[in-house]
Each structure stands twice: as C-alpha cells, then as structure tokens.
A and B are shown apart, each in its own frame.
Chain A
Amino acid sequence: MLNKTLMTALIGTAAVVSLSSAPRADEPYIPLVSKGFQHQFWQAVKLGAEQSAKKLNVKITFEGPETEAMVDKQIDMLAADLAKHPNAIGFAALDSKAAIPYLQKAQAEHIPVIAFDSGVDSDIPLTTCATDNIAAAGEAADKLAALIGDSGDVAAVVHDQTSRTGIDRRDGFVKRMKEKHPNIKIVSVQYGGGDHLKSAEITKAILQANPNLKGISGANEGSAIGVLIGVKELKRKVVVVGYDSGQDQINAIKSGEEAGAITQNPIGIGSCVVDSAVKALHNEKLPKVVDTGFYYYDKSNIDDPKIAAVLYK
C-alpha cells in the first residue's frame, strides 16, 4: 500500500519535473531578503522598493524573519530566493559571516547582490544602501543635550546589544555624550528588545532609581514608545528623544510628550536597493556605499514635505 503510494508519487513527481521547463518572466526578478517584515520600518523599506520596482518595471518580493535573532531562518530565505535564480538580490544581513557561503554562490552565478540597512561584512555586495547609525545616534545625543541645558543625568533604552543597529546607536550616543557633553552623565543603558511593554517597564525602573533623571533616549520605534509609556505612567517630566517614526511617536511629538526623533530614510533605503540592482543589471558602476541619510524632526518640521515623505505611520 505504502509502496504503491510511494511509487505513484515518485512517478507523478518525475512527470512534473520533466514537464516543467524553467520559464523566465520578461521582467527582471529581484527578491529582497530583509531583517524583518512585520515592523513598520521594514514595511516602509518595502514600500520604497515597490515604488521603484513599479517605475523601473521589475518584479520584487520582500521577506524577512519574524525576529532579528532568527539568523538561520533568514539564511533559509536567502537560499530559497537563490534557488529561483533571480536577476539580482537585495540582502540586509542579520549576521553577514553566516551568510557568506550563499553570497559566494550568488557571486558564482553572477547574481548581483545589493546590501541594505546594516550592510554585509564582505566585498561581494556591489553596494550598500544604509543609514550611518553612529552619526545619527550622535545627532540624537546632541539634541538631547541641548534640550536639557548640557548637564545632568540621562539614560538610554536600546532594542538589543547584538544587532548592528543596536550596537551602533548605543555606541554613537554614548561616545558623543562623552566627547562633547562632559557635564552629562549616562546613568543607565538598558535593553528592551524593541518591545513596547518591556521597554516601558525598563524605563519605569530607571526613573524610580534615578529621581534626577533629565532625559531618556529610545533607540528604535519600540524602545521610544516604551519610554513614552513609562514616563507617562510615572507622571514624570523627562525629555524624550526617540528614533524612527510610527503613528504613536508622531502623535507624541505633535503633542509635545516627545521632544523629537531621528528618522532614517526607510523609503529611500528600499528604492535605493531596487535602483542599484537595476543599475547593476545594466552594468553601471556603483559607489561602495550609498548613505541614504537621516533627519532629526520635532514639532517644528514634522510637516515639512521632505520629512513627511520619509515618516511612516
């Protein structure tokens, strides 16, 4: 019985294999393997990529693992996309060293690789579309310092201590405070996984432990919203500087609960990936890095078209 089923299945499978020739769509196909997909930030990157794809007549797909810890799931996605023999591929590595065998494979098959977000630690990608996170976090430190009169205690709630953006934003913030703002003391740097609730609890603990705290920085959207919830629940007057955007943060900035935030240009990152990939397909030369830029926005410039275009809700 089992053998019969198996045989039938095998014959069926063999028939399918022989029938299916590999049809190639006329539009170039460019899959993007991102570091996430549920988060609004990645949805904005996707939007940028889709806009460019439409303009340039290419077909794209956009995928990423559920959490930024799932390095192996991301590698599976990369492997599945390479199996489709795409024309080019966009990749934001969670861990570049882990992905190298697959990038080498892409290179061997002459599939151009465009890195984005945190980049890939290898010379295989033709270019990298990314934000300079160290500079951006330094800007957040400068703004926070200015808002509290350049002295006093501050803290930072960061999403994690393992990812490139977590490390860069923490180090960029801490370094700038130490170098340029000697009267400011960073009393605590804690990690909330970018989770709103966890970051709120952390914030409350920091506030309880430091009654004189003047300012807090949240290093991504989830962290910043958590900080805002924590500050609100304890009814404290603290200057909050956030990162990225999202409806909650935009509302908080408009209402004055949050002083301002650094935004990357996620839509620009997405369109940069597709634009660069298409340029690579036309054998155009690409710069090693494309800085997709960042802005500090607050109540005064939030409706500025240049800013409004890169904020996501």
Chain B
Amino acid sequence: MAQSDTAAVSLGKRTVVFGAQLFSSPAGQKLLAFGSLIVLVIYFAFASPAFLHIDNIIGILQSTAVNGVLAIASTFVIITGGIDLSVGCLMTFCAVAAGMVLSSWHLPLWISIVAAVGVGALSGTVSGTLVAKLKIPPFIATLGMMLVNKGLALVVSADKPIYFVDTPSFSQISQGSVIGYILPSVPIPNGVLILFVLAFAASVVLNRTALGRYTFALGSNEEAVRLSGVNVDAWKIAIYGLGGAICGIAGILIASRLNSAQPALGQGYELEAIAAVVIGGTSLSGGTGTILGTIIGAFIMSVLTNGLRILSVAQEWQIVVTGLIIILAVYADILRRRRI
C-alpha cells in the first residue's frame, strides 16, 4: 500500500510535469508549425497565381482529408510511446469491407460505415492486444498487422477494385458539399468537414476524458501508471482500438473520394501520417502531443506537395524537398526543447 502511495505521488508529480509541458512545449511547436505553414502558403502564393485559386485551395483541403484522419489515428498511439504502422493498409481493408457490404451484399449505406469502423476497431484491438498482452513491440506487432490487413484486403476483394455504382450517394460522403449548398462559392467537400469534426472530437477525447489522460500517462511513464493500480493493458488496447476505428473513417473517406475501394492502395500512407504527427510536435518517444499540431502537420505536408506541383518543380526534387522539410521540422523541435 505504502508503495502504491509513493507511486501515486510520483504519478501526481508526473502529471504536473507533463501538464506544464502541455502548455509550454507542444504549444511552442504548434506555433512553430503554424508559422511554417503560413510561410509556405505566402511563398507559394507569391510564386504562382494558381496557388490561391479557390479550386486549388479545395484541392489542398481534399488531399489532406485522408492523411489528416490517419494522422489523428496515429497521434493517439504515438503519444502512448507506441507506433502504428498498420494504419494505411487497415484503411484500405476498411474501405474494402465497406465496399463488400454495399456492392456485394447490397445492404444500406449506414451498415457499410458501421462495418468499416467496426473492422478498423477490431483490427486496432488486435494490435493493442498483441502489444499489451503478448508484449510484442508495437513496431513489430503493427508491421505484422499491416501485412495482415493488406493481404486480407486483396483476398476479400479478389484483387479487384470494388465500385460503388449502385449507390451514388456513397460518393457524396467525401465529394459532396454541405457547405457548398449553403455558400455556393466555397464548395468545401464534406470529406474536409469530416476531418475537422473528427479533429475536434479527438481533441476533446485526448484532453477531457480518462482515455486521453491515460494516453499521455502511458507515454510519460507506463510503469508508474501500472504501479498506481491502473489496468494499463486495457487502456492500451482501447487506445489502439480507437486508432483503428478512426482508420475505418479514413477508409470511408478514401473509398468515397475514389468512387471505389482500391485493394492495392495504402502501403506507405502510414509514413506520411507519422510525418504529419511528428511535424506537428508530437514526440515519437511519447508523452506529449496535440491533435491541432497533427492537423497543422498534415496541412504542411499537403501544401508543400501541392505548391511544388503548382510551381512545376521536377517530381524528383519534390521528393527531396519534402524529405528535407521533415528533417528540418523535427530538428527545429529538438533545438527548441534543448533551450527550454
């Protein structure tokens, strides 16, 4: 009892410490990231008149939706000090699941959404169990689940894209525009709206709920949390499960945008999501991070890609520049931490 009291006290101290970090470091990084985003936007706007054209702005928003949602899913897991390499392929498998439900079984639209999110949550729960119960390192466990999901997506779809020809309303989830209905001059697609709503919800979960508190606590000092009598395994599984469910939403978004579930897609998307999370100031060693930072990180990635494209920079160099920006963003974060 005495021991667990001490642990609880030390956990209390930790809470204060990471509480303070919440206000200083990620806020600083967010500012830095936000500043970089603004600088990029201004630069590209000067460099090309096409960049700030409304069609292009909508293009940027739309291309951020899927990566943004995957990055939100990754943020939770990364804050716990883990990593989820399965998000890209899981998204694909969820998209295929939705496709099967709609196009092969001809069930209503809402069931396909439930199926995608359910498949995602299930796969995430399995990853979480592998990590928490079987003590497989997250990198390996989710690498395995990445391949499992990739393979299952190919098996279930019989290697062929599934088209949503019978259900034209499905494409409206991502491509339609509720905002455009009200304000016809800014037809921001629903996919973008979903990203922002999800980001807001994820932010609330992360900062206002027990799940969020334990996400930070696990990343700061898992042992201390365990010693204070918390069921660490259960929370960890829940966090991976939540990440998986969010991948299900990404699956719906991408399938809806492409009018089809593409079974070969997805590998490599986890790295883009991780890049967005890290640029947004979430530390890969866990314990700190914000959803807003992640969203800004995702926008930096897509503004950069789009801007270089609009400037007609050779594609080989686009890749080099993107790589350098990721390194620079993380190095700036390290420098700032050192000064604190």
Q: Which chain A residues have a beta carbon within 8 Å of chain B's beta carbons? A: 1-2, 5-6, 9, 12-13, 16-17, 20-23, 31, 37, 61-64, 66-72, 75-77, 79-85, 95, 97-98, 100-101, 160-162
Contacts and interface: CB of A to CB of B under 8 A. Distances in A.
Contacts of B175: 101
Q: Sorted from nearest, which 4 A-B pairs have the closest CB atoms? A: A83-B56, A69-B264, A20-B49, A98-B258
Nearest to B56: A83
A255 B43 CA distance: 54
A80 B254 CA distance: 18
B59 A17 contact: no
A13 B265 contact: no
B271 to A, nearest CB: 11
Nearest to B258: A98
A75 B260 CA distance: 13
A85 B50 contact: yes
Contacts of A77: 309
Interface stretch (B129-137, B157-165, B195-203): B157-165
Contacts, number: 111
Given A16-B46, A76-B306, 6 more contacts: A12-B42, A13-B41, A61-B312, A63-B315, A79-B56, A95-B260
Contacts of A161: 159
Contact of A71 (B52, B265, B306, B309): B265
Contacts of A16: 42, 45-46, 52
Interface in B61-92: 62-63, 66
Nearest to A66: B268
Contacts of A69: 262, 264-267
Given A13-B41, A97-B259, A2 B59 contact: no
A208 to B, nearest CB: 23
Contacts of A31: 312
Nearest to A100: B259
A214 to B, nearest CB: 28
A244 to B, nearest CB: 20
A61 B35 CA distance: 31
Contacts of B50: 22, 83-85
B327 interface: no
Contacts of A1: 31
B39 to A, nearest CB: 8
28 contacts: A1-B31, A5-B38, A6-B38, A9-B38, A9-B42, A13-B42, A16-B52, A21-B49, A31-B312, A37-B316, A64-B315, A67-B268, A70-B265, A72-B66, A72-B254, A75-B257, A76-B62, A79-B55, A79-B56, A79-B59, A80-B56, A80-B309, A83-B50, A84-B48, A161-B159, A162-B159, A162-B160, A162-B262
Interface string B128-166: 000000000000000000000000000000011101000
Nearest to A109: B55
B93 interface: no
A71 B59 contact: no
Contact of A97 (B52, B254, B260, B264): B260
B240 interface: no
Interface in B1-60: 31, 34-35, 38, 41-42, 45-46, 48-50, 52-53, 55-56, 59
B55 A83 contact: yes
B52 A98 contact: no
B55 to A, nearest CB: 5
B312 A97 contact: no
B103 interface: no
B263 interface: yes
A144 B87 CA distance: 43
A81 B306 CA distance: 10
Nearest to A81: B309
Contacts of B268: 66-67, 70
B305 interface: yes
B227 interface: no
B265 A17 contact: no
A67 B254 CA distance: 17
Contacts of B66: 72
B194 interface: no
A63 B42 contact: no
Contacts of A85: 50
Contacts of A66: 268
A12 to B, nearest CB: 5
B205 interface: no
B231 to A, nearest CB: 39
B310 interface: yes
B31 A162 contact: no
A70 B66 CA distance: 13
Contacts of B160: 162
B209 to A, nearest CB: 26
Contacts of B315: 37, 62-64
Given A2-B31, A83-B55, A17 B45 contact: yes
A93 B268 CA distance: 20
A85 B50 CA distance: 8
Contacts of A6: 38
Contacts of A70: 265, 268
A13 B55 contact: no
Interface in B242-269: 254, 257-260, 262-268
Given A72-B257, A77-B309, A22 B264 contact: no
A12 B42 CA distance: 7
B14 to A, nearest CB: 28
Contacts of B49: 20-23
Contacts of B257: 72, 75, 98
B28 to A, nearest CB: 11
A271 B99 CA distance: 39
